[in-house]
């Protein structure tokens, strides 16, 4: 249970299975475009240099098309990389740097060193639930991300809006600095594909994983002790499966 709670201190990425009203606001929420890349391990040095140059030129930090690269350190996707563009908006995608040599540079200097692109996803921030103000302006202040993906059990998504709202309030009631936020997968994955929800905990050093996260204390503070067991049972009933990944920020490839 301790490890489960650690990854719930975090950014929750929720598929369209969950009621969309939870993510709505007057302004468009920020999105991230994530590409899962399988590199040619015999040509990593060239890929690293070319990716760095590409991101510096076309996806510089602080712009509406900024990109960052992460190495996957655990799980079946180990040694793969994630190229992540954001935070941005869908509107900004219409002005993405496809011209001025961008597409040609990606084709000629990136793709020859990539075996394949395995996945492409868009995640949008659920701003009202987020607790990521401490990341604003420095998205890699916490340069490791603990991700737990969850499959939502079919027919069990009806109560997730309330469950996630409770968790958001609990984390915000915790002592110390606990960055997390909620994200909606903009395009449905279906029940068979999974990846319905992913919780992301941001940490600075691996040693941080040895520390206890006091989610229960924050939850009781926010909702009372009698609400803890129904909440954990509700989360268990809503999820069918889960698995973990850890991402580590690749400063060199990101060009930052």
Give the separation between CA 231 and CA 33, rounded to whole angstroms.
Answer: 31
Query: What is the overall mean pLDDT for the chain?
Result: 86
Give the separation between CA 37 and CA 253, rounded to whole angstroms.
Answer: 13
For residue 195, what are the contacts with CB-CB under 8 A and spacing of at least 6?
15, 121, 149, 151, 185, 189
Residue pointed to by tokens 């301790």: 2
Q: What's the rounded mean pLDDT across residues 154-165?
A: 88
Give the separation between CA 201 and CA 12, rounded to whole angstroms.
Answer: 9
What is the pLDDT, as a whole number, of residue 229? Answer: 97
Alpha helix locations (H) across 65-148?
A: 90-93, 102-105
Q: At what angle do helices 160-172 and 228-238 cross, to 10 degrees?
A: 130
What is the pLDDT, as a whole number, of residue 26? Answer: 62
Give the separation between CA 206 and CA 144, rounded to whole angstroms.
Answer: 8
Q: How many C-beta neighbours within 10 Å does residue 143 have?
A: 17
Instruction: Check whether 234 has a pLDDT greater than 60.
Output: yes
Which CATH architecture is the domain 2-254 placed in? Answer: 2-Layer Sandwich (3.30)
pTM of the entire structure?
A: 0.85
Give the separation between CA 247 and CA 167, rounded to whole angstroms.
Answer: 23
247 vs 182, higher pLDDT: 247
For residue 139, what are the contacts with CB-CB under 8 A and spacing of at least 6?
68, 87
* Residues 206-229: b if buried by 16+ CB within 10 A, e if exposed: eeeeeeebbbbebbbbbbeeeebe
Instruction: Check whether 184 has a pLDDT greater than 90.
Output: no
Total residues found in the chain within this entry:
256
Instruction: Check whether 25 has a pLDDT greater than 70.
Output: no
- Token readout for 133 is 């103000």
For residue 214, what are the contacts with CB-CB under 8 A and spacing of at least 6?
174, 175
Q: What is the pLDDT of residues 198-219, one digit of tens each?
A: 777 889 999 999 988 899 999 9
What is the pLDDT, as a whole number, of residue 108? Answer: 98
| Half-sphere exposure at residue 122, Cβ-oriented, CA atoms within 13 angstroms | 12
Give the separation between CA 39 and CA 247, rounded to whole angstroms.
Answer: 16
- Token readout for 220 is 């009781």
Beta bridge partners of 225: none
């Amino acid at each position: 249970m301790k490890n489960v709670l650690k990854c719930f201190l975090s950014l929750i990425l929720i598929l369209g299975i969950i009621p969309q009203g939870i993510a709505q606001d007057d302004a468009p929420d920020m999105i991230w475009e994530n590409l899962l890349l399988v590199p040619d391990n015999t040509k990593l040095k060239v890929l690293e240099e070319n990716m760095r140059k590409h991101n510096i030129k076309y996806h510089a930090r602080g712009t509406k098309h900024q990109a960052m690269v992460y190495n996957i350190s655990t799980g079946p996707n180990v040694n793969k990389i994630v190229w992540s563009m954001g935070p941005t908006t869908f509107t900004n995608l219409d002005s993405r740097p496809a011209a001025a040599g961008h597409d040609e540079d990606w084709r000629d200097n990136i793709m020859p060193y990539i075996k394949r692109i395995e996945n492409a996803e868009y995640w949008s921030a659920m701003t009202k639930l987020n607790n990521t103000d401490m990341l604003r302006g420095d998205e890699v202040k916490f340069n490791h991300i603990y991700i737990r993906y969850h499959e939502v059990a079919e027919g069990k998504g009806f109560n997730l809006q309330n469950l996630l709202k409770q968790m958001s309030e609990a984390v915000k009631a915790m002592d110390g600095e606990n960055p997390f936020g909620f994200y909606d997968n903009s395009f449905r994955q279906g029940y068979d594909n999974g990846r319905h929800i992913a919780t992301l905990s941001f940490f600075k050093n691996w040693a941080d994983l040895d520390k206890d996260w006091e989610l229960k204390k924050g939850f009781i503070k926010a909702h009372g002790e009698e609400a803890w067991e129904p909440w954990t049972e509700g989360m268990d009933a809503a999820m069918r499966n889960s698995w973990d990944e850890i991402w580590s920020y690749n400063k060199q490839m990101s060009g930052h």
